[in-house]
Amino acid sequence: MKLGPGIAKTPLPKGFYAGGVNSGVRKYRPDVGLIVSDTDITAAGVFTQNEAKAAPVLWSQKLVPSNKIRAIITNSGQANAATGEEGIKNNFLMVKALSDVVGCAPEEVLVASTGMIGVHLNVDLINKSLPELAARVTNTAEHFANAILTTDLVPKTISTTLKLSSGEICITGIAKGSGMIHPNMATMLGYILTDAKIEAQAAHTFLKTAVDQSFNMVSVDGDTSTNDCAFLLANGASGIELKNTEDEVLFQNTVIQISQLLAQAIARDGEGATKLIEINLHGGSDLMLARKAARGLTVSPLFKCAIHGEDPNWGRILARLGAEGIPAAELNQMTLKLQGEEIFTSGAPILFDRDKVRGLLRTDSVLVEIFFPNSNNVPVVKAWGCDFSKKYIDINAEYN
């Protein structure tokens, strides 16, 4: 399983086609993307828990889970969030125009948008581009992946084949995200496509389980977007069903793995990021608290700045874990490792070679391992984030 970039072409599952074009909303890169299927798609979605939901979120969340979706359109540059009734109207005008081009009902079209909040869709430009967009779709992911980028530096795609008991299926993942990244229920924008035959409620369960262990465990800056959404799309074009429990487990684990790789790619591509940070939290008394604490570290400005400065400041880790609610009794038994080097053991600091650990932090990936007594068999919790650099401030001070 390989994650793009570095893949010449990321294949889509059978029966899926995707593309991207420049409508004129943005100057230099594609800004409208389309995923479409030859046949009806079973679709599930999860969406931002931000109360300021964008018009495309309000539209799409009413349609899924569904066994009758044909396409999903995504525009970048204009989020169509905080745009009132006009935003709702413009969203529908874009949906209706695409449904006419594709040849389906508007209710068979999902939408995602990304870009500036408070900016209305330029539906005239977007809608004029849709016939060309539909005519230029291919069975690879790259053009679509590029069309959905905002401040991202690289597209994020991944694909794999999976052998089930009755045959082989394909699963492809696509995501975007760089800033305003702290999902609460979804990724920034994420799409997982498969040609397996899956029912709508099962698709929702597979997606929700994967999101909880991947996109909901990644953060760049602690801000939950108005437009976050993730979709699982299954068109059944392979003719292969999940026949038994073994098939279901294998499929679920693969969707989790794909989602986690995409989540890591999003954190690595965080605005101004120079280092990917992975938190592995072992043990603890409560799974939800463990997830909260691990994710809390990924949003701590002090910790993120320390990692950027390659400073093994364990005090910032301890303080954040305590602030997230880890009980004192557990903190007093905690062991902490940075890049595999023990720097805090059994609730107390130890002497360690600071220069050596600083040297180990001079890399683009940093592993933080936290160990607590595991009286309740809590599984290992993983979270991903990135460092804070001066460039992050520059990007967000000048974003317009």
Q: Which residues are catalytic?
A: 187
CA distance 237 to 155: 26
CB count within 10 Å of CB 223 equals 14
CA nearest to 316, candidates 387, 382, 268, 224: 387
What DSSP state is assigned to residue 230? E
What DSSP state is assigned to residue 77? E
301, with CB counted inside 10 A (0-12, 13-18, 19+), is exposed
φ and ψ at 145, to 5 degrees?
-60, -35
CA gyration radius, the chain: 22
Alpha helices in the chain (DSSP H): 55-61, 84-102, 123-135, 142-147, 200-212, 245-268, 287-298, 301-308, 314-323, 328-331, 354-360, 390-397
- Exposed e or buried b for every residue in 363-392, given b needs 16+ CB within 10 A? eeebebbbbbeeeeebeebbbbbbbbbeeb
